[in-house]
Each structure stands twice: as C-alpha cells, then as structure tokens.
Structure 1
C-alpha cells in the first residue's frame, strides 16, 4: 500500500512560541490516521499546515506525491477539510447548504448531489428546515456531507465528534467507517481515545512538537505494559497469604483486599496463578483480566519527562 500523505520535519513557531519542532509522519492510502495529543499540543496547527491553510517554517508536506506549497490548486481538488467549528450556514436549509457548496466547487447537477448526500447522511427528513433548527449531531453530519461534495479522495476531520451526545457520536463513527470502506483516506484529530481505538488503522501521538509514538491501536496499548490479572480476596489476611504463595510473579497492591499481577503470557500465567491459589485453599472473591487501554497510554505519554 502506498502513502498518500507524507509529512517530513515540519517546524512552526508563533512569535516566541515553538508549536511544532520536528513532525514527521505518513498516511497510507485508504486508511484512517488518528492524531492524538494533549490540548495545546499543536494538532490543529499541524492539520492546517498539511492542508495548506498555514505555512510551515521548515519541512515539507506532500499529498499524492505533490508538494503542498508548490501545487496548492491541484491538491485542493484531492481533499476536503472539516474544521472543529461547523461551517454550515444557519440561515439556509440543509439542501441549500449542499447545493451552494456544489455550485462553488463546479460540480455538475448540484441539486441531485444535494439530495443524494442528504439521503446518505439521514437528513432527508429535514431537507427544507433551516440549519439553525438542527441538533448538534445533525449539524455535524451536514458538515461532513458538505465535505464530500466533489468526491474528494482524502478527508481531514478536526475533532469531528466534539460536543456530540453518545448516540450522535456513534452515528458519525459509523459514517466514517463507511467512508473508509468506500476507499477514502481519513486523517482525523481527536480528544476521544475511544474514537481513535475504534476507528484508526494508525495512531500518532503528538507531544512537545514531535510525533513521539506511532502504531496501530494494539501496538500503542502495548506501551502501557502487559495485561493484568486483578485478584480480590475476602479479607486482608487472605490477601497476605496469597501474596506469600505467589512468589516470582510481578505483583502490585491495589487496596487492602486486591492486587494486580502482570501477565507476560496471559493464558498460561492465569492458569498457573489460579492453580497455586486453589492448592493453597485461597479462593479469591473475584478475578478479572484487564488489558491496557489508550487512556493508560495517554496518561503514560503525557506524564513522561
């Protein structure tokens, strides 16, 4: 699979503040890339540089093997950018918003394009309603529909589900999955780690002006360590007895009656531990295997010095 987006050694300063120090990343065609980072880490700044809305101080950005600053007109036909703030016009109806964008992009048959996109994004019931009356989820779906006018190859989505209720967020996630299945390349920034986990093929973590970690969701979770077995006992005394039996395992106390055990080999280690406890007549009240989450990774990476 070939890379459709190539970002190399991007640097950006605003007066005395350095926002991006040395950002390098690549995105494969037909995949979803999620950019994670704490608030103020420079995610939106990087997105604006990639899309040509902001000039970098140093480094290069290429989309479909074309350097962005040298081929802006050609490249703008290849992608659509959906910003954090909705770009829909409240005075117009959903149909009028889509038809206007279709005309501005010189798309043939703008009326049919508007109708088709309203149907695709489940907005046909509100076709003649002013956007000012739309819910947050409806506005975001319309915004995404508008970004598809002209059938771009790449979609840049800056925190696409911020402010949406869980149901609207799930609906938008399903739409994004369908766009990927249709062959679109999607680059998104997000504050929702669950969003990156569920959608992304590749995740990049932006910190201190650099991409400090990158990988699939599964690979990123490994940064937080192995799976753990959580054991809970009825009394503190039983916990101490169990601890004395589990010599050689990597144990960490959780509270007076619970402890965790790191699992380098999940199945075998769990079987060994439960066998030891059974032979010692130390039956736990409960046990649970827990896997690292992107929350764990986020906390670890943001705390690292």
Structure 2
C-alpha cells in the first residue's frame, strides 16, 4: 500500500433523488486496526460501505482503498478487499466446503481445496463442511459467509452488521476472528447495531449522522466526553438539597433530583473523584446515605447523546 491509510476517503457524496445519503464522508483507517462505523438508522452507514466497496459510484469526492483509487481503478480495489454484507453471499444448495472452494477458484487462489479446508477449520465448521449450507444454523451461516470473504486474504475487510441475530457463542467466534485479522495487519471497517461489539473490537469509532462523520475517536476518548455518572440515593427526601450541594461542589455540574427515588445525580469529568471520597463528603455534610455509585459511560450513552442532539 502506498498510503499511510488502508482506507482514506475525502468528501464522498451520494444522492438518491431528493435524499442526500452521504454529504461528505471523511474517513481514515490505518492497516491493522478496526474502525467502528456507528450511527442511527438512516445515517448513511450502508451507503458508505457500498461506495467504498465499489458497489455504488459516488457523486463527488475521492477515496483510496489499499492504495488504489476508488474511481480510477475499482477493479484493483476489488482485488484487495473482502466484504461481508447484511445478506449472506454463499449458496444454500452447496455444502460449506463447496462454497469456499468455489470462492477460491473465482478469486484464482492457489490451492483452493487447501484454502477452503484451512478456513473451515479456523471457523469451527469442519464437522459440517459436507452438509448443504441450507441446513446450517444462523451462526454457522454467518461464519461461513465471513470465511468466504477471507478466501483471498484481503488488505481491507468490510463487515456490515456481521453478528446481527447471532447467539453469544457465535458472536464470540466472529469477534475472535476479527481480532486475529487486525493483528495480522488487515484493516477492518465494522458497522454494527451492537455498541458493546464496537467497544470490544474497535480501535477507533466514527459516529455518523445525516450522511457525515459527526465525531471520531477511540471508544475511551468518546466516552470521556460525557464524563462519569454519579448517583446517590438518600434516606430522607429533605436531605436531597444537601446531597445536591455536595455533588455541585465536587463536580461543578448542576445536579438532577429524582424525588420519587430520593436520588441525586450529576456528571463529572474529574478522573480523581473516587467513591470513598464521595461517601466521606456526604457523611461530613450529614446526608443519610442509602446507596452511591460512580458509573463510567458506555458507547450506548454516547450514541444516545448523539441521537438526542440530532432530535434537538
């Protein structure tokens, strides 16, 4: 690859009739990393994947995939990528082994039988290799589909919601495969509705909204923007004001009061605040405490904040 990035797009745009599906997509993914592309439904994630995999032609902008120009040399781009879409690409009438051998021959891979056997073993499908794929479970089909996208050992792998509907064990197998690919140098673009999945796998997150990347950063960086959620539950509703004063002094943020639960909450970006200190401060203020917690934010919280800002 001649570029620092395995995927580099600048200002990609795509319009369908009156709808601007992409309004200037800027994205950079380094080799050997996983980028999680997240966003609400309709944000443009699938359109972005279809553009970057040459299935659609952009109306404007540019991109280089594995060092090749997306517009000038789409054939070269296709030779260096693997794609696992939302719908399975394997043939239900063929066995798992036949599917992978077929893909290997289509991609002119040396030793197609050996490569098929290697992938069947890697994804735990050897015992089912000679059964028709139509009899596979959902998790097995998804693993076979991912194996098919790896027949050619791609420089860049695009995964569009690869684990939707899978049980935890099947999801874990795919997570393990993605980590191994990234460790071996493959760049992975992952779209997912499971924010825990992005938190577990992604080195970087690109949060999309209305056809653009609204925020980028590592999972830790994005969560740090929100801060830590503090909540205390007091024994006497009359002491909620005193508890709020303590939280205000410790965090500098305006606390929220839930009188029905006798709960007082606040956000803090102070990484030095600990639970023992919080309890000591409340005790010193004479606040009868029932419960206290400091909860780090999740990607779900970040996603919900983006959704709330979009609605506003």
TM-score normalised according to structure 2 size? 0.92
Unpaired segments ≥5 residues, structure 1 = none
Bigger drift between 225-234 and 42-51 goes to 225-234
Change (3 A) 1:206 1:109: same
CA deviation map 1:264-295 (0-9, x unaligned): 32434645432222224434122111111111
Q: Is the 8 A contact 1:31 1:201 kept in 2?
A: yes
Q: CA deviation at 1:302?
A: 1.8
CA deviation map 1:116-163 (0-9, x unaligned): 110000001101111111111100000000111121111111111112
Change (3 A) 1:266 1:108: closer
What residue is the counterpart of 1:294 in the other structure? 299
What residue is the counterpart of 2:134 in the other structure? 132
What residue is the counterpart of 1:226 in the other structure? 227
Unpaired segments ≥5 residues, structure 2 = none
What residue is the counterpart of 2:203 in the other structure? 201
Q: Structure 2 matches for 1:103-182, cutoff 5 A?
A: 103-182=105-184
In angstroms, what is the RMSD of aligned CA positions? 1.8
Quick one: which of 245, 258, 263 aligns to 2:263? 258
> Secondary structure of 2:119's partner?
helix
Q: Is the 8 A contact 1:231 1:260 kept in 2?
A: yes
Q: Is the 8 A contact 2:240 2:257 kept in 1?
A: no
Change (3 A) 1:274 1:39: same
For 1:209 and 1:242, how far apart are their aligned partners in 2?
Answer: 43
Q: Is the 8 A contact 2:34 2:188 kept in 1?
A: yes
For 2:247 and 2:216, how far apart are their aligned partners in 1?
Answer: 36
Q: Is the 8 A contact 2:95 2:129 kept in 1?
A: yes
For 1:280 and 1:18, how far apart are their aligned partners in 2?
Answer: 55
For 1:176 and 1:255, how far apart are their aligned partners in 2?
Answer: 46
TM-score normalised according to structure 1 size? 0.94
Q: CA deviation at 1:203?
A: 0.7
Change (3 A) 1:168 1:279: same
Q: CA deviation at 1:64?
A: 2.6
For 2:36 and 2:45, how far apart are their aligned partners in 1?
Answer: 10
Q: CA deviation at 1:239?
A: 3.0
Q: Is the 8 A contact 1:229 1:270 kept in 2?
A: no
For 1:192 and 1:255, how far apart are their aligned partners in 2?
Answer: 33
> Secondary structure of 2:127's partner?
helix
